[in-house]
Chains A and B, each alone.
Chain A
Amino acid sequence: MRDIGFIEAINEALGEEMERDPSVFIMGEDVKLGAFGATRGLIDKFGPQRVRNTPISEAGFAGAGIGAAMAGMRPVVEIEFASFFYCCWDQICNQAGKLRYMSGGQARMPITFRCVFGAMGSAAAQHSEVVYPQLLAAPGLKIVVPSDAGDMKGLLKAAIRDDDPVLVFEHGRLGFTRGTVPDGDHLVPLGKGAVKRAGTDVTIVAIGAMVPKALTVADEVAKDGISVEVFDPRSLVPLDEDGLLASVAKTGRVIIADEGHLRGGAAADLAAIIIDKGFDSLNAPIKRVTALDTPIPFSPPLEEFVLPNEAKIKAAVLAVMA
């Protein structure tokens, strides 16, 4: 086991997979420089053919990644910020997600899209959005949201090896965190959630950067004698329904913490699944702790006001325990 940074984990995953498979290459805006560090230095090792700076043409290079995947490569395409997915929405939803199906299974689509997402401090509405709920509604796309360095590395490596389009959402705030990563070829299978803390009274299903917040709340309420289990689905598609429902069955109380919006979000989706399949286990209504249904504002107090945080998660825990 080693202690490494979240971004270092991305960098290691990319380097190891490029080393392992010559059909893996990366492209995106400023990947040579590695503006945020994730791709830094890969150019020196793998050269300009496999580490390609693109013009600011999201639809063009997302589509080129898709075509390259169909023609034998295994591209990793960086979409700098999740909100930029809107600039290549057709290529992601209509092409990457559908071509295998529409062709009756003929198309291969081993492509990974990486992006930074979430509110990271006054980036305002167009650089702070979560975006995966909208993509969750588009069939044919796998979606992973790592919450720590170890999962980041293992999920990204698994995503690159996967034969379907996988969208990897890396929360900007997690970029500054460190975590332990197992040595060797560390893979985290898609569709396998993790109990990040075991407990018996209430489950907090937490996604991405909500996981460390949920763990903090769990520590706090433990002092009041409330035992919190933190379940991290890690991938939203495929979803570890068994793991999710097992945790719900164990505690009977559920908080879902996600930075997306309340309406139509991942929290709403998970809540519906729990109600459909785990209703009998519930001892209290499910509480969702999410961003308000507004664009994410710029000014710090406004941003803080609309986002989910520890205080809001804690209030929800106390409410379901009351």
Chain B
Amino acid sequence: MDTSAVPKEKLLDMYRTMVKIRRFEETVRDLFFQGQIPGFVHVSIGEEAVPTGVCAALTDDDYITTTHRGHGHMLAKGGELKPMMAEIFGRATGYCKGKGGSMHIVSYELGILGANGIVGAGIPIATGAALASSFRNNTAVAVSFFGDGASNEGTFHESLNLASLWHLPAIYVCQNNAYAEFTPTAESTSVKDIAVRGVAYGIPGVVVDGNDVLAVHEVMLTAVQRAKRGEGPTLIEAKTYRWEGHVVGEQAFVGEYRDPEEVEAAKRRCPIALFAQKLAATGFVEAAELSRIESEVERELQDAIAFAQSSPLPDLAEATRDVFAA
């Protein structure tokens, strides 16, 4: 997909989303190292083009499920920085009142049916949201984001079979970042391209450059059209790379398990830099516009940190609320 196929405003929105994800996650990582964030944190730095390209094809009515590495999906689907940051800080003002944390930030209002700490667990849930949509003439699509590791879970295979069988408006986005926890994909996965697994279930499987936001966006638009026409699901494999470790702070226990040159090579294909180059080449996006976006994001981010830091911790009474419906 060429930049000319997308309105300028949308292109700039996509750029803003990618920068927001990058800076949010860099900040969260740094705050974690400063001891300001409890628990553990997984970041998707270097993978920003996938959530951005995918969610740019969705509306607020569409559903997504995401993973333990879900900040990017949450932001791309419209999540606000303040309640996200507050949730990560375990504060009462967080999206989940401090009961979910980094791995579980969600906003149902935005159609986000769960970030999930269990690998592969969100895949059947998105399938079910697509099933609900099928009762309403497929007016909404449901996207499940998951990693290469999850494509080896039974839930992945069961879901693709179900969705294909029932022609559900589901889109399965495998964000292949080359590592399942600490194990290279090639060591854990029987096929080179996870997309070929679509063949087993009679659905299209598409490989796309996960560092090219417009390429991701283009395959998504096709998948959304197919889903809304009632023709069923699509499996998209967006190949990208996880710049950071599986979990922030892993250096303290896991040691070196990747060739530093491999990481450096991936960084030379930064999805944000690649997109900025494309935008610059259009002739209608000024460098100043991009730096204005960057500083706006920066300001918003600082506000979010201040909001999180100054927000109250949850009242202890909150611990026993929300187990069941009121």
Q: State the A residues within 8 Å of B (CB).
A: 23, 25, 49, 52, 54-55, 57, 59-73, 75, 90-91, 94-95, 99-109, 139-140, 142, 162-164, 238
Stretch at the interface among B40-48, B153-161, B218-226, B251-259: B153-161
Contact A67 B128 (CB under 8 A): yes
Instruction: Tell whether B129 is near chain A: CB-to-CB under 8 Å.
Output: yes
Contact B124 A67 (CB under 8 A): yes
Shortest CB distance A160–B (Å):
14
Stretch at the interface among B9-17, B95-103, B263-271, B272-280: B95-103
Contact B124 A100 (CB under 8 A): no
Stretch at the interface among B233-241, B286-294, B296-304, B317-325: B317-325
Which residues of B sit under 8 angstroms from A63, Cβ to Cβ? Answer: 121, 123-125, 127-128, 155, 158-159
Q: State the B residues within 8 Å of A (CB).
A: 63, 65, 94-100, 104, 106-109, 113-114, 116-118, 121, 123-135, 140, 142, 154-155, 158-159, 161-162, 165-166, 321-326
Shortest CB distance A162–B (Å):
8
**How distant is the Cα of A257 from the Cα of B160 in the complex, in angstroms?**
44
A-B contact pairs, 17 of them (CB 8 A): A54-B162, A57-B162, A59-B155, A63-B128, A67-B113, A67-B129, A70-B125, A95-B116, A102-B99, A103-B100, A104-B322, A105-B322, A105-B326, A108-B108, A139-B323, A142-B324, A238-B324
**Residue among B107, B109, B132, B161 with the highest chain A CB neighbour number at 10 A:** B132
**How distant is the Cα of A131 from the Cα of B179 in the complex, in angstroms?**
37
Who on chain B is nearest to A99 by CB? B114
Contact A68 B129 (CB under 8 A): yes
Shortest CB distance A135–B (Å):
14
Contact B155 A71 (CB under 8 A): no
Shortest CB distance B77–A (Å):
14
Which residues of B sit under 8 angstroms from A109, Cβ to Cβ? Answer: 325
Shortest CB distance B87–A (Å):
8
**How distant is the Cα of A94 from the Cα of B104 in the complex, in angstroms?**
12
Shortest CB distance A239–B (Å):
13
Shortest CB distance B233–A (Å):
12
Which residues of B sit under 8 angstroms from A25, Cβ to Cβ? Answer: 135
Who on chain B is nearest to A101 by CB? B322
Who on chain A is nearest to B326 by CB? A105
Shortest CB distance A73–B (Å):
5
Known: A64-B131, A91-B121, A164-B325. A104 touches B95 (CB 8 A): yes
Contact A71 B124 (CB under 8 A): no
Contact B127 A106 (CB under 8 A): no
Shortest CB distance A77–B (Å):
10
Known: A95-B121, A101-B99. A106 touches B106 (CB 8 A): yes
Which of A70, A102, A164 touches B324 (beta carbons < 8 Å)? A164
Who on chain A is nearest to B162 by CB? A60
Contact A67 B97 (CB under 8 A): no
Contact B324 A49 (CB under 8 A): no
Which of A66, A75, A107, A139 touches B124 (beta carbons < 8 Å)? A66
Contact B97 A105 (CB under 8 A): yes
Shortest CB distance A154–B (Å):
20
Contact A95 B125 (CB under 8 A): yes
Which residues of B sit under 8 angstroms from A101, Cβ to Cβ? Answer: 99, 322-323
Contact B104 A103 (CB under 8 A): yes
Which of B94, B113, B161 touches A70 (beta carbons < 8 Å)? B113
Contacts A63-B127, A63-B128, A106-B96 known; list 5 others, CB within 8 Å.
A62-B124, A64-B131, A68-B132, A70-B128, A164-B325
Known: A65-B128, A102-B104, A164-B324. A71 touches B162 (CB 8 A): no
Which residues of B sit under 8 angstroms from A62, Cβ to Cβ? Answer: 124
Shortest CB distance A267–B (Å):
24
Which of B123, B154, B165, B324 touches A100 (beta carbons < 8 Å)? B324
Known: A63-B124, A107-B114. A71 touches B133 (CB 8 A): yes
**How distant is the Cα of A242 from the Cα of B239 in the complex, in angstroms?**
58
Who on chain B is nearest to A54 by CB? B162
**How distant is the Cα of A163 from the Cα of B116 in the complex, in angstroms?**
21
Which residues of A sit under 8 angstroms from B118, Cβ to Cβ? Answer: 90, 94-95
Shortest CB distance A237–B (Å):
9
Which residues of A sit under 8 angstroms from B126, Cβ to Cβ? Answer: 67
Known: A101-B99, A102-B96, A104-B100. A55 touches B128 (CB 8 A): no
**How distant is the Cα of A313 from the Cα of B98 in the complex, in angstroms?**
48
**How distant is the Cα of A310 from the Cα of B299 in the complex, in angstroms?**
73
Which residues of B sit under 8 angstroms from A54, Cβ to Cβ? Answer: 162
**How distant is the Cα of A163 from the Cα of B324 in the complex, in angstroms?**
8
Which residues of A sit under 8 angstroms from B99, Cβ to Cβ? Answer: 101-104
**How distant is the Cα of A91 from the Cα of B106 in the complex, in angstroms?**
18
Who on chain A is nearest to B322 by CB? A105
Contact A59 B128 (CB under 8 A): no
**How distant is the Cα of A164 from the Cα of B325 in the complex, in angstroms?**
6
Contact A60 B94 (CB under 8 A): no
**Residue among B98, B128, B140, B165 with the highest chain A CB neighbour number at 10 A:** B128
**How distant is the Cα of A140 from the Cα of B322 in the complex, in angstroms?**
9
**How distant is the Cα of A140 from the Cα of B323 in the complex, in angstroms?**
5
Shortest CB distance A115–B (Å):
18
Which of A69, A70, A72, A90 touches B121 (beta carbons < 8 Å)? A90
**How distant is the Cα of A109 from the Cα of B113 in the complex, in angstroms?**
11
Which residues of A sit under 8 angstroms from B117, Cβ to Cβ? Answer: 94
Which of B106, B142, B155 touches A103 (beta carbons < 8 Å)? B106
Shortest CB distance B108–A (Å):
4
**How distant is the Cα of A105 from the Cα of B314 in the complex, in angstroms?**
14
Which residues of B sit under 8 angstroms from A49, Cβ to Cβ? Answer: 134-135
Shortest CB distance B135–A (Å):
7
Which of B100, B127, B130 touches A60 (beta carbons < 8 Å)? B127
Contact B128 A106 (CB under 8 A): no
Q: Which 10 pairs across A and B sit closest by C-beta, in order of nearness?
A: A67-B128, A63-B124, A60-B158, A104-B97, A71-B132, A104-B96, A64-B128, A57-B158, A67-B125, A105-B322
